[in-house]
Amino acid sequence: MERIDLLAKPIVFFSQQEIITIMNSLKKQKSLFIFIIFLFLFLLTIIFDYGLSYLKPDPKVRTFEVENFREQIVVRLMSHPPNSIKYRKSNYIDELRYLKIDDNGFIVPSVRHKKPDKTIYFLGGSTTELFDVPSEQRFPYKVGLNLENMGFGKINSINAGLNGKYSVSSLQDLLTRGALFNPQYTVLMHAANDLSMLMHLDGYYSNDLAYKHSRSYLLKVDHGADELEINGRTGLFFKGIKNIARSVYPNTYSVLSTKFHKNSQNYDEFEKYRQKKRIDSYRLNDEFEKSLNRFVYSACSLGIQPILMTQPNRIENQDEEIKLIFKKYNPEISYKDYSKTYKMFNQTIRKVSENFGIPLIDAAIMIPKDKKYIYDAFHLTEKGSILLSEVITEILANLFENAKVKNSPDTKSQIFSCK
């Protein structure tokens, strides 16, 4: 009987071209297989990183190991992200405006000299930040330049302004970041942001939003560590990628973040707190006065001359255009109550300055209340910024001259006044 080999297979011959085609196909499949493995591992690391975030303690209930306690303490600071660039269309002219931020979180140009003769530290909200004014026309920078041209030596005039900042966050800034630069003078201008905070939240420390506001950015104060984030559950992997992208491609990062993130100009941080209410002017003003007192006491304790500045505005003169805009965006609040309280805040700045015997820059009176200098309720135009720089320069020059007379021949010191 003939034996049948069940394992036998027909012999197939391939042409050279067919063999090449098969080999190329196998190579493609191999590349695809490697890509799938890589993608799987990448997703696995992301899931692992995200899972680690749940092992962190609740950000509102911080816990520390005793031996690492000193290394873990952080100071939360309202500041621009260091080494960043922001841009948007101007609010009053058809041009793009930029904010370039240095590695300290200050608006460029700020720290221009490694060994300055004097340092002036400007603190405030968007009215000090001046996004809509060209960088070399913003009053903090121009004041330093003007004083140098008058022969007062090398001046570092630091702009630590930030939209949304208020007096409590400026005090935190001065005590942590600002003090590191050994300023001889600090100029504080706040009113509108403090009023908004107190009006909607009933206090600087009243609830979760106030907590959030007083802790916007986290900066490690020990060992000069990098920026730290414990709020939310953003993983370290994503943070590292974002920081690399921001450092290597700052312009691209700025453009893409603007395209894909919520428009901050249209974001209403007080939306869920808005309701029909009557403003308790005297209570809010008392809170504001206490905050200013804390700032002055703290600056004096650091040996820094505090200078208070009232806020230029078009509120106090009952500007009809401003009334209409206010009523459109704040229908729950009486404009009469608001303008009354705002005027009280500027008056309180004058009062605190007088009580402590410290210099006052009464910009609310010195800057004309019209559109040429202030394009909306509070924000300066380029002309307004230039005019304010001249006002501040004159006052500081007088302080410097008096210091020369009183302390001659030491021209680097200044009259320090704090009752």
Q: What is the pLDDT of residue 307?
A: 98
Q: Are residues 159 and 281 in the same domain?
A: yes
Number of compact structural domains in the chain:
2
Output b/e per residue, 246-278; b: 16+ Cβ within 10 A: beeeeeebbeeeeeeeeeeeeeeeeeeeeeeee
pLDDT of 370 over the 90 cut: yes
Q: Are residues 84 and 176 in the same domain?
A: yes
Is 9 inside a domain boundary? Answer: no
User: The domain spanning residue 330 has which CATH number?
Assistant: 3.40.50.1110
Q: Are residues 36 and 163 in the same domain?
A: no
Give the number of other CB atoms < 10 A from CB of residue 35: 10
pLDDT of 21 over the 90 cut: no
Is 61 inside a domain boundary? Answer: no
Q: Are residues 30 and 115 in the same domain?
A: no
**Which of 147-161, 174-188, 221-235 has the weakest average pLDDT?**
221-235
The phi, psi pair for 333, rounded to 5°, reads -120, 140
Q: Are residues 43 and 153 in the same domain?
A: no
Q: Are residues 274 and 364 in the same domain?
A: yes
Q: Which amino acid is at 57?
A: P
Determine the Cα–Cα distance for residues 267 and 88; give it in Å rounded to an integer. 15
Is 225 inside a domain boundary? Answer: no
* Per-residue pLDDT reduced to its tens digit, 71-107: 444 556 788 889 988 888 888 888 888 899 999 999 9
Question: Cβ-count burial of 379 within 10 angstroms (0-12 exposed, 13-18 middle, 19+ buried)?
Answer: buried
pLDDT of 277 over the 70 cut: no
Residue 385 and residue 337 in contact, taking contact as beta carbons nearer than 8 Å: no
Is 50 inside a domain boundary? Answer: yes
Is 416 inside a domain boundary? Answer: no
The boundaries of the domain holding residue 30 are 25-55
Indicate the SS3 state at residue 220: strand
For residue 157, name the pLDDT band (cuts at 50, 70, 90).
very high
In the chain, what percentage of residues exceed pLDDT 70?
A: 66
Q: What is the pLDDT of residue 410?
A: 44
Indicate the SS3 state at residue 263: coil
Q: What is the pLDDT of residue 218?
A: 36
Determine the Cα–Cα distance for residues 108 and 393; give it in Å rounded to an integer. 19
Instruction: Provide the whole-model pTM.
Output: 0.71
Please report where in the chains the tokens 């001359």 appear, as a residue.
Answer: 305
Is 6 inside a domain boundary? Answer: no
Is 339 inside a domain boundary? Answer: yes
Q: Which amino acid is at 243?
A: N
Q: Are residues 51 and 192 in the same domain?
A: no
Tally of residues, the chain: 419
Give the number of other CB atoms < 10 A from CB of residue 333: 20
Cβ partners under 8 Å of residue 361, min gap 6: 187, 307, 308, 309, 310, 391, 392, 395
Q: Are residues 84 and 47 in the same domain?
A: no
Q: Are residues 48 and 186 in the same domain?
A: no
Q: Are residues 327 and 393 in the same domain?
A: yes
Is 227 inside a domain boundary? Answer: no
Q: Are residues 198 and 107 in the same domain?
A: yes
Q: Are residues 388 and 349 in the same domain?
A: yes
Determine the Cα–Cα distance for residues 172 and 168; give it in Å rounded to an integer. 6
